[in-house]
Chains A and B, each alone.
Chain A
Amino acid sequence: MRRLLPLLLTTSFRLAVWCLLTADLSRLNLLIGLVVALLLPRAHSRPLPLRALLRALGRSLLAVPQAYLEALRLIFGPEPVEAEISESATEGSIPLLVFLDVFRITLTPFTIVLGLEDGGRRYRIHAMKPGPRHGGQTP
């Protein structure tokens, strides 16, 4: 199952894009889409742990509402301060999970992944941290 998962994922993703592009769910069109999805070249893939993939997908989806909250804080909040931080990768050896991590971190306006460091075990992140509030006259 772990070996079959990358093939299933790429094929179903390509088929879904084909269906959205053609907006046609007839049997013939589905068959053409399936053939195209299987014929397109595939990258050499490693076995994929399903649990880690589902967790990464869930966290990526949760990043969307979080991104809007951060955008509002960036617009209405105090002037943010720039900083460089680093975060450990969940699974540095599997390209799809690294992609989902980079997507999740970069989608939110406070953080952008600059690159991988430490042999792919950590992400180097540029962050905009919310600055101190300019309230009152205290120095």
Chain B
Amino acid sequence: MTLASFADHASLLLLGAGLLFWFWGTWPLLESRTYLSKLHALSVADTLGSTLMLLGLLLRIPGQWPLLVLALVALILWNTIFGYVLANCWLDSRREPKP
């Protein structure tokens, strides 16, 4: 197996795994679960699934690595901190006295 075809197969595998993570993490949004357990599932979909997809793309189009690496870093940082912001807002809304 040549290096190019190995990269091709590996990138397909990563893209597929990322898509699987996406669907697994997005499905709980439609169910009647608690808000925070949906956030836990979303961190699997949004952060980890999208990271796998970007790694797959990195193998597929290595010429675009600067932008893909930038997207990777921004995505991991932004998604994670946004998850914290949503959780923190939920906590604040729970603390407010009920009218």
List A contacts of B88 (CB < 8 A). Answer: 113-115
Tell whether, in the assembled complex, residue A106 and residue B81 are in contact, meaning their CB atoms are under 8 Å apart: yes
Q: Determine whether A39 belongs to the interface, using a CB cutoff of 8 Å to chain B.
A: no
Tell whether, in the assembled complex, residue A109 and residue B40 are in contact, meaning their CB atoms are under 8 Å apart: yes
Residues of B in contact (CB 8 Å), total 27
**Residues of A bordering B, CB below 8 Å:** 17, 19-21, 23, 64, 67-68, 71, 74-75, 82, 99, 102-103, 106-107, 109-110, 112-115, 124, 126, 128
Query: Which of chain A's residues has its CB closest to B68's CB?
Result: A20
Query: Which of chain A's residues has its CB closest to B88's CB?
Result: A115
List A contacts of B43 (CB < 8 A). Answer: 67, 106-107, 109, 112
A74–B18 alpha-carbon span in the complex (Å): 15
A31–B44 alpha-carbon span in the complex (Å): 40
List B contacts of A68 (CB < 8 A). Answer: 48
List B contacts of A21 (CB < 8 A). Answer: 66-67, 70
Do A102 and B67 contact each other (CB < 8 Å), given the known contacts A82-B36, A124-B91? no
Within 8 A of A (CB), among B25-44: 34, 36-37, 39-41, 43-44
A20–B74 alpha-carbon span in the complex (Å): 12
Tell whether, in the assembled complex, residue B44 and residue A75 are in contact, meaning their CB atoms are under 8 Å apart: yes
Do A106 and B84 contact each other (CB < 8 Å), given the known contacts A74-B40, A112-B39, A115-B91? yes
Query: Which of chain B's residues has its CB closest to A70's CB?
Result: B44
Do A109 and B76 contact each other (CB < 8 Å), given the known contacts A82-B37, A102-B81? no
List A contacts of B16 (CB < 8 A). Answer: none
Q: Determine whether B69 belongs to the interface, using a CB cutoff of 8 Å to chain A.
A: yes
Do A23 and B66 contact each other (CB < 8 Å), given the known contacts A82-B34, A107-B80, A112-B87? yes
Tell whether, in the assembled complex, residue A71 and residue B21 are in contact, meaning their CB atoms are under 8 Å apart: yes
A113–B21 alpha-carbon span in the complex (Å): 22
